[in-house]
Amino acid sequence: MTRPADASFRFTHAICRAPAASITRGLRAVDTGDPDLEPMRRHHADYVAALRSTGAEVTVLPALDAYPDSVFVEDTALCLPEGAVIMRPGAASRLGEAGEMAPVLETFYARVARISDEEAFIEGGDILVTGREILVGRSARTNARGIAALERITSAWGHAVREVRTPPGVLHFKTDCSLLDAETILATPRLDASGCLAGYRVIHTAPGEEAAANAIRFNDLVIMAAGFPRTEAAVRAAGFRVKTIGNSECAKLDGGMSCLSLRFSPKGPRG
């Protein structure tokens, strides 16, 4: 199936969720202190405004206090033009977040698929949709059964899935890379060294700026976390329009720009 080359970064819609006060209990690999809710809310508002500035319709769901990490909506679903797939997060405290997203996506999509295998785990942060394939990183949150379940659903929609590895000790595959256009990926040197991005044009994060790798291409903007000037300059030098957003509070929970939204252009009866 041929798709427009820009379908992987042109979006009519996004969904975000307001940060909950319980975010102070959010998961983190290393404790560098709790996120501070007020700057977190300001950064989140800036992020939503940046998405909206591209002309997209952005839905901001109410905070879910029962789920401290629920601001990171990307992990709850994979949104493709043909339909959405509800994830099965591998973090036990996050499993219920996906069920909260399903009815929201049903208002946009005629097809919302669920993974029935209870041994399957997969989080959206481990999935990178490029102009030609869906890369899925096996990680501490995403297992082989989760990838197989996703492949069964999305192959019927004409998408090719390729299993890759999220580097050890890295939360998600997209912690270390982002799509900049259909064929260009911003990545850490450690991820690129694995060879999984062979065939793509790769721009490396600058030494010491590995956290800049989690960015998003959203319509005409590349939205990057603020504070990584050498990587930002490299992305600008490659011809991209960059908007930076404060990420100090999300970063305490290993979160970045991709984690904060579901981005999609649904097609079909509700699209």
If DSSP codes are grouped into helix, strand and coil, which group holds residue 135? strand
| The two three-digit tokens of residue 230, written as one number | 């050498």
C-alpha Rg value of the chain to the nearest Å: 17
> Which residue, 209 or 254, is less far from ligand GLY as judged by CB?
254
The footprint of ligand GLY on residues 150-179 (CB under 6 A) is 171
Residue 90 as a binder of ligand GLY (CB under 6 A): the answer is no
Q: How many helices (H) and strands (E) does the chain have?
A: 6, 15
The one segment of 22-30, 127-135, 213-221, 236-244 that binds ligand GLY by CB under 6 A: 22-30
Residue 254 as a binder of ligand GLY (CB under 6 A): the answer is yes
Residue 253 as a binder of ligand GLY (CB under 6 A): the answer is yes
Pairing of β 77-79 and β 112-114: unpaired
> Which residue, 28 or 162, is less far from ligand GLY as judged by CB?
28
Closest CA to 239 of 227, 222, 253: 222
- Partners of 265 in the β-ladder: none
Residues with a catalytic annotation lie at: 172, 259
What is the Cα–Cα distance from 111 to 38, expressed in whole angstroms? 37
> Which residue, 23 or 149, is less far from ligand GLY as judged by CB?
23
Residue 69 as a binder of ligand GLY (CB under 6 A): the answer is yes
Contact residues for 168 (Cβ-Cβ < 8 A; gap 6+): none
Closest CA to 219 of 41, 40, 57, 86: 57
The one segment of 76-84, 99-107, 159-167, 251-259 that binds ligand GLY by CB under 6 A: 251-259
Give me the least distance between CB of 233 and ligand GLY, in Å please: 28
Q: Are 87 and 78 in contact (CB under 8 A)?
A: yes
Question: Using CB under 6 A, which of 35, 124, 255, 266 touches ligand GLY?
Answer: 255
The one segment of 53-61, 132-140, 199-207, 248-256 that binds ligand GLY by CB under 6 A: 248-256
Give me the least distance between CB of 202 and ligand GLY, in Å please: 25
What is the Cα–Cα distance from 1 to 127, expressed in whole angstroms? 20
Give me the least distance between CB of 175 and ligand GLY, in Å please: 10
Cα 134-115-251 angle, rounded to 5 deg: 60
Question: Using CB under 6 A, which of 19, 26, 146, 266 touches ligand GLY?
Answer: 26
Place of tokens 């996120």: 35
> Which residue, 234 or 262, is less far from ligand GLY as judged by CB?
262
- Contact residues for ligand GLY, defined by CB under 6 A: 26-28, 69, 72, 91, 94, 171, 253-255
